[in-house]
Structure 1
Amino acid sequence: MSAKLPIGFMLNPFAGIGGSVALKGSDGADTVKLALAKGAVPLAQQRVEQALKLLQPYAERIEFICPAGAMGQDCLMAMGFETNVIFQPKQPSLASDTHGFIDALNDYGQQQPLALLLFAGGDGTARDICAHVNENTPVLGIPAGCKIHSGVYAVTPIAAGRMVEQMVNGELLSLVEANVMDIDEAAFRDGVVRAKRYGEMTIPDDLRYVQSVKSGGKESDELVLADIAAEVVDLIDDSLAIMGSGSTVAAVMELLQLDNTLLGVDIVAQQELIAADQTAAELIAHVTQAQASGQVCKLVVTVIGGQGHVFGRGNQQLSPELIRLIGIDNIIVVATKSKLQSLQGRPLIADTGDVELDQQLSGYIRVVTGYRDYVMYPLSSPA
């Protein structure tokens, strides 16, 4: 895994430009031209600089993947950050350039999973991103527009910087769903506020425990495991699920009221136990047969041992061939937040015995930590 935190970055250079000249928005090229004609000065970059200033001490620990020019690279380089440019926007940039960059970022994320997409703009920018971004990519907005009704924005640019700083320092941030909202600018100019929901995106949130799993202000293992189990049951649905070893996975089997091999690997289909304590060859045979009939196969694994192994300790039945057969996107990693915190920032470990596969598995992954509760956490390989 790269030692650097991979963060997508995008700036709408004209975000908020209509506010100072009473245009009540900045959506559309015509509005931008009118605002500039009225003497408006772009201020979005100043808002971004407030957030990025907090990250300058960590410049060597962050890889920003961004568009060229005013949509990203210029601002980042001016503040001393190295950039990985993957998209060339038009000058001046348009909404179609936001779409184009997000599409390019989605392609990039297939090879190197992103920890976050950090963007600056207003509700129009959030709408454009929501329409194209991969649902597995967490996002966080730096507020820079006239209209900020969407829940995907930090309360201030500095707050956005603080949250990214937490990620760089390995602190756990829950992932939550937030609404993308926008209003009709034309109606707004006539004094009518007409808001509409355009979807939702996943955002990082301050580390917090859901009220139902608190016990004396701390995680209650029993309740947390029940919440994790409920989420995994929803995720596996009616697929064929390979259930790895460990007590966290055992909690899922308990919720399903199925017998479980604590130190082995079982197979569940249609939420019924179909095979227990399977060997590597048996697992491959079941998955091959299921896929041949069009059934989706998933793999549920947890953190084994104090060093943070996901693969390679206590689950050698999960061979490289099996993992490739199931596919990385169908792997569900589960762990309590207290377990992750006990690693003190060390990454999870993939030690499958196949160096190439270990590298493919490496990156920032979603870990199920509760019901509708996830964190992004690094997974690395021994090399």
Structure 2
Amino acid sequence: MAAGKGRIGFLVNPIAGMGGPVGLKGTDGLAEEAIAMGARPRAMERARACLDLLSKERDAILFFTASGSMGESCLEECGLDYKVVYSALPVTSSRDTIRTCQAFLDEGVDLILFCGGDGTARDVAGIAGSTPILAIPAGVKMHSGVFAASPQAAADLVIRFLNGELNLRDTEIVDVDEELYRAGILQTKLYALAKTPYLPVLVAERKRIYSSDQEDEFKDQIALFASEFMRDGSAYIIGAGTTTSRIADILGLEKTLLGVDVVKDGRLMITDASEQDLLELLDRETRVMIIISPIGAQGFILGRGNQQLSAEVIRRVGIDKLIIISTPHKLAEIPYLLVDTGDEDLDESLAGKRQVVTGYRIAQMKDTLAASRL
């Protein structure tokens, strides 16, 4: 190894994010069910998008990793210099993540770079100690503050960190109770504090939930307006969140708070839809719209917590058929809207000024950016 090489511990949770497109709202303990429902692995694809950029610095980095799909495969495909320090089991678990991270610490890595979601972040942070960690986003729900805005942003952060350009910050590692989450109850818990390389914009903030009487008033105004324009005979795909769920309340429907539902002519057509459900809907319906709301503090409207709205679904509906809704306070707290569908061309086409409904017949314009371009 050449003197001065950065030492990066790199691991992939191969099953991360698989539960999102099939509507499971997480993959912890449900990998086999997700596969049976038609889910496909996406974490390695996200990891490669980051490593492709890091390959430009291949002479300056030595990676330490686990065997096979937990890291070795991606590093080998990208032609990077690596050392396998842990032999993973054929079916991986959090135990493999923890043991891999311990091996990283034994090697004295400068940074642990991992690809996964909040569950993976919990496992990594639980053993990392003072070693900085950084996440390539690949999970269903990413509430913790260690996630880069995109795989490309993660690569940029790694390079800047190794060049000594970034400070570290303490950030919260949080996760939700997945069983409650699937039942429509969002209950987060603080598990650890971790150090992460930080640059505003490139690292996503921890998700925030806004609640106040004024917020509720604006949600009611937005919902009332939506209940009126939704009488046009179109099928409306309604994304997750408290703002969108208020629309269902106004219509007298029982929406899944953290899922994606479909409403037409005042009735619930599909509850807790998967990506496949939505594609089948698009085979039947010619007029379809999508209503979504940004994640508080983060600004993501696509690619976080609503992977059922895949790139294929969005393309078939049409990018001009997206209706974005947000209370004024939430919108003011985010500098711009972000999209990370996994399809960079689609993300670019979604970028630009987009209208956001913020009240009854009231809207604001907000810049929308492709997360990969940050």
TM-score (norm 2): 0.52
2:161–2:197 Cα contact (<8 Å) kept = no
Deviation per residue, 1:32-72 (Å, 9 max, x gap): 00001111100111111121121111111110011111000
Distance 1:192 1:58, change over 3 A: same
Rounded Cα–Cα distance in structure 2 between residues aligned with 1:171 and 1:67: 26
1:196 aligns with 2:189: yes
Superposed displacement of residue 2, structure 1: 2.6
What SS class does the counterpart of residue 34 from structure 1 fall into? helix
Superposed displacement of residue 3, structure 1: 2.6
1:96 aligns with 2:95: yes
Match of 2:170 in 1: 177
Query: Where does the alignment leave 5 or more consecutive residues of structure 1 unmatched?
Result: 209-383
1:187 aligns with 2:180: yes
Match of 1:159 in 2: 153
> Alignment partner for residue 138 of structure 1, among 132, 140, 152?
132
What SS class does the counterpart of residue 127 from structure 2 fall into? coil
Deviation per residue, 1:108-130 (Å, 9 max, x gap): 22xxxx22110010000001112
Match of 2:6 in 1: 5
1:83 aligns with 2:77: no
Match of 2:119 in 1: 124
Kindly provide the amino acid, as one letter, of the partner of residue 131 in structure 1: G
Deviation per residue, 1:143-192 (Å, 9 max, x gap): 10001000011111111111112234x24210100100100111111111
Q: How many residues align?
A: 200
Kindly provide the amino acid, as one letter, of the partner of residue 107 in structure 1: D
Rounded Cα–Cα distance in structure 2 between residues aligned with 1:87 and 1:62: 19
1:54–1:165 Cα contact (<8 Å) kept = no
1:172–1:207 Cα contact (<8 Å) kept = no
What SS class does the counterpart of residue 19 from structure 1 fall into? coil
Kindly provide the amino acid, as one letter, of the partner of residue 153 in structure 1: F
What SS class does the counterpart of residue 152 from structure 2 fall into? helix
In percent, how many aligned pairs have the same letter? 39
1:122–1:146 Cα contact (<8 Å) kept = yes
Rounded Cα–Cα distance in structure 2 between residues aligned with 1:182 and 1:3: 36
Kindly provide the amino acid, as one letter, of the partner of residue 26 in structure 1: T
Match of 1:367 in 2: none
1:15 aligns with 2:16: yes
Kindly provide the amino acid, as one letter, of the partner of residue 12 in structure 1: N
Kindly provide the amino acid, as one letter, of the partner of residue 57 in structure 2: Y
Rounded Cα–Cα distance in structure 2 between residues aligned with 1:149 and 1:201: 14
1:5–1:115 Cα contact (<8 Å) kept = yes
Structure 1 segment 37-76 matched on structure 2, within 5 A: 37-76=36-75
- RMSD of aligned Cα (Å): 1.6
2:47–2:136 Cα contact (<8 Å) kept = yes
1:147 aligns with 2:148: no
Kindly provide the amino acid, as one letter, of the partner of residue 27 in structure 1: D
Deviation per residue, 1:181-217 (Å, 9 max, x gap): 1001111111110011101110011299xxxxxxxxx
1:173–1:207 Cα contact (<8 Å) kept = no
Rounded Cα–Cα distance in structure 2 between residues aligned with 1:195 and 1:179: 11
Rounded Cα–Cα distance in structure 2 between residues aligned with 1:138 and 1:152: 10
Rounded Cα–Cα distance in structure 2 between residues aligned with 1:164 and 1:65: 14
Pick the structure with greater CA Rg. Answer: 1
What SS class does the counterpart of residue 57 from structure 1 fall into? helix
What SS class does the counterpart of residue 132 from structure 1 fall into? helix
Rounded Cα–Cα distance in structure 1 between residues aligned with 2:96 and 2:89: 7
Kindly provide the amino acid, as one letter, of the partner of residue 43 in structure 2: A
2:112–2:132 Cα contact (<8 Å) kept = yes
Rounded Cα–Cα distance in structure 2 between residues aligned with 1:95 and 1:140: 17
2:9–2:101 Cα contact (<8 Å) kept = no
Q: Which aligned runs of 4 or more in structure 1 are off by greater than 2 angstroms?
A: none
Distance 1:175 1:41, change over 3 A: same
What SS class does the counterpart of residue 155 from structure 2 fall into? helix
1:19–1:146 Cα contact (<8 Å) kept = yes
2:125–2:133 Cα contact (<8 Å) kept = no
